[in-house]
Amino acid sequence: MEQDMWDSLWINCHLCTLQDDGLGIIKDGAIACQGEKIIWVGPFSELKASPEKLAKEIYDLNGSWITPGLIDCHTHIVHGGDRIEEFNLRLEGASYEEIARAGGGIRSTVKATREASEAELLAAALKRATALQSEGVTVIEVKSGYGLNWENECKQLKVAREIENHLPIKVQTSYLAAHTIPEEFHGNGDGYIDSVIEKLSELKELGLADAIDGFCEGIAFNPEQIEKLFKSAQKLGFNLKLHADQLSDLGGAGLAARYGALSADHLEYSSEQSVKAMAQAGSVAVILPGAFYFLKETQVPPIAAFREHGVPMAVATDMNPGSSPCCSLLMSMNMACTLFRMTPTEALRGVTLNAAKALGISDTHGSLEVGKSADLAIWDISSPAALSYYIGYNPLQQLVQAGKTIVQ
Ligand code: NIG
Ligand code: FE
């Protein structure tokens, strides 16, 4: 019996399948989709019949490259207001930590986020998500963390989930109530963490969060508080993530690894011991060069140690109003290479395969593999490294999400 015709087939293209230790390149490849999934991928020469006999729709790409849809695995795109005033203060010499300790920083975004309606937050988030999507992003992670009370944290997560109803983009959510101590709990971090923990089972029932996140830092929560949160979250079956070792080494990455976290993020100050613990746990190191750049930090994350110990590295925008107002994942890839000396191959793995791992969705996303979601980013470039090379130039030619073309 003749096989059913595939929905679509891309030919005359080169593929980054991500199916080996590098980029899994197939020159002169072909890839086919059926419904929402990839149904065939391989060298063009191995197609069993001529394209017209195989697929209803055929795209001849004339030598373009196809990568998996990009994944931005760390964002805070749902938030109210901006922090342009704080940007000015920093340019006049105030540091990020000084501003935070004086009640600004995250807390000023908390005020703006609490004051915003769901509709306002959604409208602003959609603009940011659209900017990411225009550069080939098909999956984003979105954190709460600017509500800092039950009602407003839920408001942020609901808005994050709502994005999928307005844009063809997949959203994974993280509950970041442990982002900083809100004013109402001033001087009582322990009390605040207890109030966050109290709500975890209700959060689980509501299905609003795919992971629990926290900020382990002098200006946020200490390791003991984070550990208490992780213990409870783990019992309820949540995936874990952690903002760790961004401004100092509190051993946050090691702590995240001990609890089997999907990822530890930032990591500028992580020790070799923490890196080894991450390797053992299989936690992903999420590298956030946008925050390093925007805060004009000087301590670079231990990239060589991650490499040496085999810790998978992801790259993300960390899009947020305070430390990384960056809506470009391509720019983040460039910064990972120029500022941290990651290779373009590492950067591309970092926004595909390893970003999927950091979100716990590698069964369905992050590579061009039969059975995975048909998320294809099609690029008018001469080689994959071009994606890390350009600054402010977008070579996206076509974007397919779950089998549907959304940018052409
Ligand atoms: O990922 N590091 C902590 N949280 C955010 C920034 C929060 C803010 O300044 O608004 C980050 O960089
Ligand atoms: Fe962040």
All residue ranges of the chain with pLDDT < 70 are 1-3
Residue with tokens 């200490």, as numbered in its chain? 222
- Does 366 contact ligand 1 (Cβ within 6 A)? no
Calculate how far, in angstroms, residue 388's C-alpha sits from the geometric centre of ligand 2: 22
> For position 1, what pLDDT does the model report?
40
- pLDDT reported for residue 104: 87
Ligand 1 within 6 A of 180 CB? no
* Contact between 339 and 384 (Cβ < 8 Å): no
* 188 annotated ligand binder: no
Torsion of CA 327, 328, 333, 339, to 10 degrees: -60
Residue 317 is predicted with a pLDDT of: 98
Identify the pLDDT of residue 4: 86
- List of residues 6+ apart from 21 with CB closer than 8 A: none
Q: Is 179 annotated as a binding residue?
A: yes
- Contact between 286 and 359 under an 8 Å Cβ cutoff? The reply is no
Does the Cβ of 243 fall within 6 Å of ligand 1?
A: yes
Closest residue by Cα to atom 5, ligand 1, is 323
Residue 371 CA, distance from chain mean position: 22
291 lines ligand 1 (CB under 6 A): yes
Distance, CA of 73 to CA of 170 (rounded, Å) = 11
CA 245 – ligand 1 centroid, Å: 12
91: buried, middle or exposed (CB in 10 Å: 19+, 13-18, 0-12)?
A: exposed
- Pocket mutation for ligand 1, best pick of 215, 219, 323, 332 (most atoms within 8 Å of C-beta): 323
pTM of the model: 0.98
**Mutate which of 96, 108, 179, 319 for ligand 1 pocket (most atoms within 8 A of beta carbon):** 179
Q: Is 349 exposed, middle or buried (0-12, 13-18, 19+ CB in 10 A)?
A: buried
Could you give the maximum distance between any two Cα atoms of the chain, in Å?
73
Residue pair 17/368 in contact (Cβ under 8 Å)? The answer is yes
Quick: pLDDT tens for 339-361: 999 999 999 999 999 999 999 99
Q: List the shell of residues around ion ligand 2, using CB closer than 5 Å.
A: 318
- Measured distance CA(213)–CA(378) in Å, rounded: 32
Q: Are 161 and 80 in contact (CB under 8 A)?
A: no
Q: Does residue 210 have a known ligand-binding role?
A: no
Measured over the CA atoms of residue 146, residue 150, residue 151 and residue 154, the dihedral's sign is: positive
Gap between the Cα atoms of 141 and 258, Å rounded: 23
Q: How far is the CA of 70 from the centre of ligand 1 (A)?
A: 22
Q: How far is the CA of 76 from the centre of ligand 2 (A)?
A: 6
Nearest CA to ligand 1 atom 1: 318
Output phi, psi for 48, to 5 deg.
Answer: -80, -15
